[in-house]
Each structure stands twice: as structure tokens, then as C-alpha cells.
Amino acid sequence: MDEKTPLEPPPSYDNASQVTPTKPAQAGSTAPPRPRPLDLPALNMIRGKRVILASASPRRRQLLAQIGLTDLEIVASTVPEDKSKSLAPFEYVLETAQQKALNVYEATIDSPKGEPALVIAADTVVSTELGQILEKPRSEKEHVAMLKMLRDEGWHKVYTAVVCMAPLESAMDPGYTMESHVEETSVKFDSNVTDELIVSYVRTREGVDKAGGYGIQGIGSILVESIKGTFDNVVGLPLRATLQLIEKVIVEPAVPDAVDDVGY
């Protein structure tokens, strides 16, 4: 990043899900001006309305800001993420993201603020080539072991499921439309990354709150040799696919019994 931000204390493993988003630039700063928002029907239709991100991830919030969704309401799901690890990775993230979206939609539909115009939920996991699901590390020891395994195995995969929900104007049950998508990106760690570098990276605590234990958009990029697929998917939200889902539920909502669109 060109913009310099003050350093903040690193998160602990116990509160990794509660990392505080980076503060916006103050007035009078030297930050470059933001580009004009995208002039698209779906985005124009929800501008100024209640748009909820069902995630506390600052990275997802920053990515959505890139397409002009800057006035987001953050409402994290309260449902435990306890899906069976026996599921295939793309099934695991899809079911978890759908669960998040439904939980937050149901919790906010009768709010005094009015029903949300759009709810966006997402879930990301890292998977080994054999399908073992890796989420956030729970200790420094586990964190080091996780990154060593990813280095030694070569390629691994990152799956992100995105779910968008919007209310329907008709009273047809269940009263909302939902669309979903699963994106897959393959990532290869540099086999020459040393144990010393891995330990040093772990102690920066950058990867504490991230699936797989590293942030490709930050210092963690020094671990990565190459990727196949979309970069922002590894960060935590495939923007192109997310925009397509928003267009589906806002501009041309499907009938309630339509089958969700799942791609990977």
C-alpha cells in the first residue's frame, strides 16, 4: 500500500475473529483521491439503501469499497461455523456462507431500520491437494506447522463462497431471493522458503485471523511463488463474481424455488 497507516498491536489467537479494520485516512491526508463509483444499474438501485455485510472481515469490506459499496452495515453471523470437515471444501464454504447469510437476514429483516436491500455473506477456507480443510490457526505452534505443510506440499487451493440475498417485492414465500457462487484459486508456496522465514512471518501475527494462516495481500506474499485464478479470491472475496451475484438478486431476481448458481 502507498498510503502509510499507523501500526496497531497484533491480534491474539484468541480474538482473531475480532480484528479491528484499518481506520480511514483523515481529512487533509496525502491519500490519492478515490475513483468515481461504478455507474451500474444494480449498484445505483442499492445506493443509499441498507446494505449489510455479514462478515467482520476488514479485507472484504475494503474489497467491496472498490466497487463503490462504502456505506456498509457490518452484522456478523452468530451461528457457530461447525460444518463437518468431511464435506468437500467447496461444499463446506458454500453451506457456511449460506448459513451466515440466512442468519443475518433473519436477524435484521424486522429491524426498526427497515429491511435490508441486500445482504452479502462469504466464507473462505484453504484446502490441501488431498482436500484437508484449513481454517484460522489456533496457536503459534499450529500456525508454523500449517505453513510448513503448505510449503512442503507445493500447491494448495483457496475456496471462497459468496452468497447474496435480497427481499422480493411479492409476498411469495420465503420472501427473498438468494444467489451463490464458489470460487477456486490454486496457490503455490516457494519451496525454498526456510523454516526461519516461516517462524519470522508467524511472529508478525499478520496471518492469525486468516484461513491458511497467511495474507497474500500483505507480508505473506513473500511465501507465494505463483497462483492460478483470481487474486482477490485468496484475499477473501472474488469481486467479479460478487458483482454478478448482486446484479442477479437486485436487477433480475429469480423466483424463490430457483436453484442457486454454484460455480467453482
Residues annotated as catalytic are 123
Q: Over the chain, what HEC string results?
A: CCCCCCCCCCCCCCCHHHCCCCCCCCCCCCCCCCCCCCCCHHHHHHCCCCEEECCCCHHHHHHHHCCCCCCCEECCCCCCCCCCCCCCHHHHHHHHHHHHHHHHHHHHCCCCCCCCCEEEEEEEEEECCCCCEECCCCCHHHHHHHHHHHHHHCEEEEEEEEEEEEECCCCCCCCEEEEEEEEEEEEEECCCCCHHHHHHHHCCCCCCCCHHHCCCCCHHHHHEEEEECCHHHHHCCCHHHHHHHHHHHHCCCCCCCCCCCCCC
